[in-house]
């Protein structure tokens, strides 16, 4: 766990989201996976209040994310992504989201808060009905022709560290022969 002193140093005594130097507090990013230890960020009371009270959000305050979304700190990236996602109906936050790059783990972390609140949660299941999660490994249960190429992914091929296609419960993504492909969940078995 990062100490408050280290946090102050990392942030240069500024809110890691909006750069304000006043009323700084430590926020532990909610819905953080157990294997991530550095979940604390230093933010100002204004940011904190708006994060915790969606009805108090002033969209223009969050234009600061234009800069802070490029922070090298994953916990800051996660909070920036979540606020942009919350505000995306404004238009400009969606543009920033489109530009933002999160590595796979950070993206899953960022989305963790979202799926929990969403009413219709998409669940991916393998051919036996076993629930699939990002990072799982599966094996192909039949030969699959890869769309748009001459490649055939052979039955029995193990696909490690799959990603879930969030909009569609029938699709997962994974690497076969070094190539990222989309695979239909009916044709895989969790290993």
16 versus 136: smaller Cβ distance to Zn ion = 16
Q: Are 18 and 24 in contact (CB under 8 A)?
A: no
Q: Report d(CA 13, CA 129) in Å as an integer.
A: 50
Least CB distance to Zn ion at residue 96 (A): 16
Judged by CB, which is closer to Zn ion: 20, or 106? 20
Q: Which residues pair with 100 in a beta bridge?
A: none
CA distance 104 to 60: 29
Least distance in angstroms from the C-beta of 100 to Zn ion: 18
Instruction: Give the binding site for Zn ion (CB under 5 A).
Output: 15, 17-18, 20, 44, 47
Say if residues 158 and 137 touch (Cβ distance below 8 Å): yes
Least Å distance, CB 83 to Zn ion, is 11
| Shortest Å distance, C-beta 37 to Zn ion | 23
Closer by beta carbon to Zn ion, 63 or else 190:
63
User: Would you say 18 or 110 has its CB closer to Zn ion?
Assistant: 18
What are the φ/ψ torsions at residue 65 (nearest 5 degrees)?
A: -65, -20
């Amino acid at each position: 766990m990062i100490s408050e002193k280290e946090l102050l140093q990392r942030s240069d005594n500024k809110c890691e989201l909006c750069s304000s130097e006043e009323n700084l507090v430590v926020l532990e990013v909610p819905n953080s996976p157990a294997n991530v230890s550095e979940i604390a960020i230093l933010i100002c009371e204004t940011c904190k209040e708006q994060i915790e009270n969606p009805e108090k959000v002033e969209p223009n305050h969050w234009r600061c994310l234009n800069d802070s979304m490029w922070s090298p700190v994953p916990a800051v990236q996660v909070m920036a992504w979540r606020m942009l996602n919350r505000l995306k109906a404004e238009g400009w936050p969606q543009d920033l989201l489109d530009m933002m790059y999160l590595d796979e783990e950070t993206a899953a972390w960022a989305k963790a808060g979202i799926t929990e609140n969403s009413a219709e949660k998409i669940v991916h299941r393998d051919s036996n009905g076993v629930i699939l999660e990002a990072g799982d490994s599966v094996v192909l249960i039949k030969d699959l022709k890869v769309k748009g190429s001459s490649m055939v992914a052979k039955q029995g091929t193990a696909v490690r560290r799959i990603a879930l296609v969030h909009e569609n419960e029938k699709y997962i993504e994974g690497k076969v022969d070094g190539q990222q492909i989309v695979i239909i969940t009916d044709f895989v078995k969790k290993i």
